Amino acid sequence: MPLQNKYKLSNNDLDSLWRRGCQFLGTKYAILGGAMSWLSEKNLVSAISEAGGFGVIACGSMSPDQLALEIRGTSRKTKNPFGVNLILLHPELDALVDTCIKEEVKFVVLAGGMASRQVIDKLNESQVKVIAFAPTLAVAKKMHRHGVGALIIEGMEAGGHIGPVSTNVLAQEILPYIRDIPVFVGGGIGRGEMIASFLAMGASGCQLGTRFVCAKESIAHKNFKTAFIKASARDAQVTTQIDPNFPVIPVRAISNEGTNNFIEAQRAAITRFRDGKIDQKTAQLEIEHFWAGALKRAVIDGDVVNGSLMAGQSVGMVKAEQSVEEIVQELVEQANMALK
């Protein structure tokens, strides 16, 4: 996405372009770490915040007690701002919100659905800044009306569970019309030049996940990191849905046997439903739960054959294991060079 001529900026203009995002987050750089299950824990999150970015804990399926321990562990490793990503479909969402408030978390990122006005109000009343994902302009406007402090728009180039629209299209659809609150862009971003481009379009900052997987501070198994370093953008494929009556949220991951296992998991659950052994809701849950176990097998146990290698298309830009500080500085230097 080339910069237009009116955005011929001096070397120092990166500071002005993402100043709004930095002021909102309280950070040196408006670079957010994407919340990645099993990976976005206290070590990686604190390292991103210490490097001047904004780390985000991936709550995922944690219990309130587990989340409290993770928040405390992160707070011990950094005094810089960080956030907590909560999945709106979590059965203990209210308790998790209470945990964030009790542990004095300053930022909560709401993902995986449409945040209710009640949840947003509760967080705002407790002086917690709310960031919400917006997959469409209509949702973005609604979230703004409901009082969120900022938005994230994430395109289908991202890793893990994704939507149907590319980052570039979402940026064009949403950025020109949401000006009153900061909007952060994510999905397929691996270099500073692209960060600069989205900032020039009106974004307040950018979110990156895949780029941080192979950080030295990441707890990912060495096999998992090796798979990322060897992969190209074309290796990060989207999963296939085999039955329209059992819709699945698409997942982008590096193709392996785990991809084929997901197809078999769908077939097995659907067969059990048709045989009258389980109801449709249970079958649907079995299909969705496949990824939680498969991701842990790959990230933590190192089973990169049968586990899930969730990765964004920017995985082709991950060339080596680097410290978070090196990654962040590289991104900032590339963005500065693009804006010269």
pLDDT digits (tens, 9 = 90+) for 185-226: 999 999 999 999 999 999 999 999 999 999 999 999 999 999
Confidence bin at 5 (pLDDT 50/70/90): very low
Confidence bin at 10 (pLDDT 50/70/90): very low
Backbone angles phi, psi at 140, to 5 degrees: -60, -45
What does the pLDDT look like over 164-173, one tens digit per residue? 999 999 999 9
- Check whether 50 has a pLDDT greater than 90: yes
Confidence bin at 43 (pLDDT 50/70/90): very high
Structure token digits, residue 219: 């707890």
What residue type is 280 in one-letter code? Q
- Check whether 110 has a pLDDT greater than 80: yes
Mean pLDDT, range 274-301, rounded to an integer: 88
Between 78 and 251, residue with greater pLDDT: 78
Distance CA 51, CA 211 (A): 14
- Check whether 133 has a pLDDT greater than 70: yes
Q: Which pLDDT does position 4 carry in this prediction?
A: 41
Structure token digits, residue 160: 């893990």
Of 158-167, 274-283, 320-329, which range is least confident? Answer: 274-283
- Check whether 104 has a pLDDT greater than 90: yes
- Check whether 8 has a pLDDT greater than 80: no
**Helices 167-174 and 192-201, interaxial angle, to 10°?**
20
Percent of the chain with pLDDT over 70: 96
- Neighbouring-strand partners of residue 110: 86, 132
Contacts of 187 (CB under 8 A, 6+ apart): 154, 155, 156, 157, 158, 162, 166, 167, 170, 207, 312
Helix, strand, coil content of the chain in percent (nearest 5) = 45, 15, 40
Q: Which pLDDT does position 237 carry in this prediction?
A: 95
Q: Which pLDDT does position 7 carry in this prediction?
A: 39
Distance CA 233, CA 316 (A): 5
Backbone angles phi, psi at 297, to 5 degrees: -60, -35
Domain chopping of the chain, boundaries = 5-219+319-338, 232-310
Mean pLDDT, range 60-64, rounded to an integer: 94
Given the candidates 3.20.20.70, 3.40.640.10, 1.10.3720.10, 3.40.140.80, the CATH classification of the domain at 5-219+319-338 is 3.20.20.70
Between 259 and 174, residue with greater pLDDT: 174
Of 181-190, 286-295, 311-320, which range is least confident? Answer: 286-295
Least Cα distance to 246 among 220, 199, 278 occurs for: 278
Name residue, tokens 């080596």: 320
- Neighbouring-strand partners of residue 237: 253
Environment class of residue 189 by beta-carbon count within 10 Å: exposed (0-12), middle (13-18) or buried (19+)? buried
What average pLDDT is seen over the chain? 94
Q: Give the E-state strand segments of the chain in sequence order.
A: 31-33, 55-58, 82-87, 107-111, 129-133, 150-154, 160-161, 183-186, 205-208, 236-238, 251-254, 309-310
Between 5 and 55, residue with greater pLDDT: 55
Chain center to CA of 176: 22
- Check whether 22 has a pLDDT greater than 70: yes
